[in-house]
Chain A
Amino acid sequence: MEQKQSAPAVKSTAVFGDYLIMLIVPAVISIWYYGTAAVHTLIICAASSILLDFVFSVLFNKQYYAADLSGLCTGLMIAMMMPAAVPAYVCVLACAFAILVIKIPFGGGMRAPFVPAAAGFASAAVCFKDLVFTYSGGREFMGSASLGSILQAGGSVRITSASFLDIFTGNIYGPMGTGCAAVFLGCICFLLIRRRDALISSAAFLGAVIVFSLVLPRTGGTALSSLLLELSSGSLLFAAVFFLTDYSTLPGHTLNRIVYGLFTGIICMVMRRRGIYEEPVCFAVILGNAFSPLLDNVTDRLQVIFTSGKSKKEAYDR
C-alpha cells in the first residue's frame, strides 16, 4: 500500500530530475551573461513556485511530496523565458498562475492538462506584454531589439562568423535562459539517451519549424539564415526540449505525438507571422496541449472501427 502511494512521487522525481539537470546549464549561462539580475529572477521564480506549491497543496488538502521537483522545475522554466530585469511581481504572478490554476487543481505536475510553465508565461505575456518582451544585455544587432522583434518587423540580420557565434551562444537581446542554441542541442542529446520516446514530438515540432522557415522566410536574406534566426530567436528550442517532451500532455500513440509536434510547430510559425506577440511559442504549446487528448481519442476510436475481437477490447481498455 505504501509503495502504491509513493509511486507518483517517484515517477515525478525521475522525470523532473532530468529536467532539473538540463536546466542547470542554461541557468549558469544566464548568470554568466546577466549577473545578479539573473540570480534574483531565478531565486524569486524558484522560491515562489515551491512556496505556493507547498502552501496551497496543504490548504487544498492535497498530498505534497517534498521530493516532487515539478514546482521547482516550473519556476526555473518560467525564469528562463523571462528577461533578466523583469520585476519580481511579474515572476510571482506567472508562477502563481502555473501552480494554482494549472498544476494543483488537476492533481500535480504529472497530470496537468497544459504545461504549467507555458501557461504561467503565457498569462504573464498577456497581462504584462511590455515588461515581458523588453530585454536588456547581450550583443546589439539593431539598436536594442531582440532577434524575435527584428524578425517580426521584417528586418534582416547580416550573419558573419562573429554574429553567428553570438547567436549560437545566446549572447543577444532576448529571454535570459533560452537564447543559447548550443545548450539545447546538448539537452536534445541528453534526452536521446534518457527519454527517447518523448523526443518524437520535439523532432516533429522542429521539422515543421525548419520546413516553414525554409519555404516561407521572414527575413530578406537566404533561406539558411532565415532558418538560423528562426531557431535561435525567442524560446523555440527551449520549448522543443522542455514543453514538447512533457509527459503529462504528450499523446499516448507514437503517430499522435508526431501529429501533435507538427501541429504545434505550424501553429507557432503561423502565430509568429500573424500574431501580436514576438514569441508565441507558449500559446502554440497550450493550443497543442488542448488537442492532445482529442488525438488519442480519435486514434482509439479508429482502432475500434478497424479492428475486431480481442484487439477491440484492448483498444477500449487503453
Chain B
Amino acid sequence: MKPKLGDVIAKGTFEYNPVLIQCVGLCPVILASTSVQSALAMTAVTFADLLITSILASTVMKKWQRYIRVVFYLIIGMLIIFPILWFIENKTIMNMTLGMRIFLPLIAVNSVTAVHCEQFAVKNGLRPAVFDAIAAGLGTGIVMILCGALREIGGKGTFLGYPLGVSFKLSGMLMPYGCLVILGFAAAVLNKIYTRKPRRAKKEPVSSGPEEVSLDIDSGKDPEQIDMDFTFDDDEEYEYLLSSVNELIESFSMDSEREDEQ
C-alpha cells in the first residue's frame, strides 16, 4: 500500500518531530534560531540538504556499504550547506550576518539527514523517501522558526528586524540555554498532545449510601457456571481493563516472589 502524503507529513512533522521527539539536529537549531531570518535561511538549507540526500540514498546508495553511505551524507551535506549559506550571507540583498562561521562544520554534520536517510530513505522507494524528507524538513523548519521568533522577540525586542518597543531584553534568550528551555517546553507540549492515555471507564452515578450487595449462596448454582460475559462500549475500555488486570497479576506474583525469598 502506497503511503499517503498527508499521513507521512503529519507523522514526520509532528508525531515524530526530528528535533523535539527524536532529539536530532539540535546544534543547527540552537545556533541558527537567534532570529527569524537566520532560522528561515537555515530551514531552506536543511530542506535542500534533506531532499537531495534522501533522493540519492533511496536511488543510488541502496547497495552501498553503510559506513560509505554515512560518509557520503556528510560530504553531500557540506557540498550543499556551505555554498548556500555563503550565498545567503554574501550575495543576497538580505545582507544577513548569520554568525555561524566557526559552527559551520557542526551544522554540516547534520544528524537529521543521517538519521532519516539511514532509517528510512535507504529502506524505501523514491516516493516515500521524498515524502519523509519533506516531513522531516518541515518539522525541523517549524521548530527553528518558532525558536527564532521567540528568541528574537525576547532577546532582541524585534521581529524580522522590526523593533517591537519592548522596554527590556532578555539577552539570555539568545544564548544556547534559552533555546534549550524553549525546546524543552515545546517537546513537553508535543508529548502531551500525542500521548494518549487509555480512557477510564465511565463513572457510575454516585449513590447516596453504600450499595447493597446480596450474595445468594444457597441458590445451588455452580460458581463456574455464572455468566461472565462482560460488555464494553469500546476497545479502549477493554484494553484499559485488561492492562489493569495484568498489573494486578504482576503485583501478586512479585509479592509471592518476595515471600519466597524471605
Contacts and interface: CB of A to CB of B under 8 A. Distances in A.
Contacts of A93: 170
A185 B237 CA distance: 61
A60 to B, nearest CB: 9
Contact of A127 (B171, B181, B184, B188): B171
Nearest to A119: B177
A126 B168 contact: no
Interface string A77-114: 00000000000010001000000010001000000000
B172 interface: yes
A123 interface: yes
Q: Is the interface of A mostly helix, strand, loop or mixed?
A: helix
B181 A126 contact: no
B171 A126 contact: yes
Interface of A: 89, 93, 101, 105, 123, 126-128
B181 A101 contact: yes
Contacts of B169: 127
Nearest to B167: A89
A117 to B, nearest CB: 16
B175 interface: yes
Contact of A89 (B168, B172, B173): B168
Main secondary structure of the interface of B (DSSP, over half): helix
B188 A105 contact: yes
Contacts of B188: 105
Contacts of A127: 169-173
Interface in B148-189: 168-173, 175, 181, 184, 188
Contacts of A128: 168
A89 B170 CA distance: 11
13 contacts: A89-B168, A93-B170, A101-B181, A101-B184, A105-B184, A105-B188, A123-B172, A126-B172, A126-B175, A127-B170, A127-B171, A127-B173, A128-B168
A162 B171 CA distance: 41
A181 B168 CA distance: 34
Contacts of A123: 172
A114 B206 CA distance: 45
Given A123-B172, A127-B171, 13 more contacts: A89-B168, A93-B170, A101-B181, A101-B184, A105-B184, A105-B188, A126-B171, A126-B172, A126-B175, A127-B169, A127-B170, A127-B172, A127-B173
Interface of B: 168-173, 175, 181, 184, 188
A138 B140 CA distance: 53
B159 to A, nearest CB: 19
Nearest to B169: A127
Nearest to A102: B181
Contacts of B184: 101, 105
In the A-B complex, the 9 residue pairs with the smallest Cβ-Cβ separation, listed nearest first, are: A126-B172, A127-B172, A127-B170, A127-B171, A123-B172, A101-B181, A89-B168, A126-B175, A126-B171
A300 B179 CA distance: 33
Contacts of A126: 171-172, 175
A123 B173 CA distance: 10
B181 to A, nearest CB: 6
Nearest to A124: B172
A259 to B, nearest CB: 25
A98 to B, nearest CB: 12
Interface centre among A93, A101, A126 (most CB of B within 10 A): A126
B247 to A, nearest CB: 17
B195 to A, nearest CB: 13
B24 to A, nearest CB: 22
A101 B172 CA distance: 14
A21 B172 CA distance: 33
A316 to B, nearest CB: 15
B142 to A, nearest CB: 22
A244 B258 CA distance: 39
Contacts of A89: 168
A89 B181 CA distance: 20
A127 B170 CA distance: 5
Nearest to A101: B181
A84 B63 CA distance: 69
Contacts of B168: 89, 128
Contacts of B181: 101
Contacts of B172: 123, 126-127
Nearest to B180: A101
Contacts of B175: 126
Q: Counting chain A CB atoms within 10 Å of each CB, which of B172, B175, B181 scores highest?
A: B172
Nearest to A89: B168
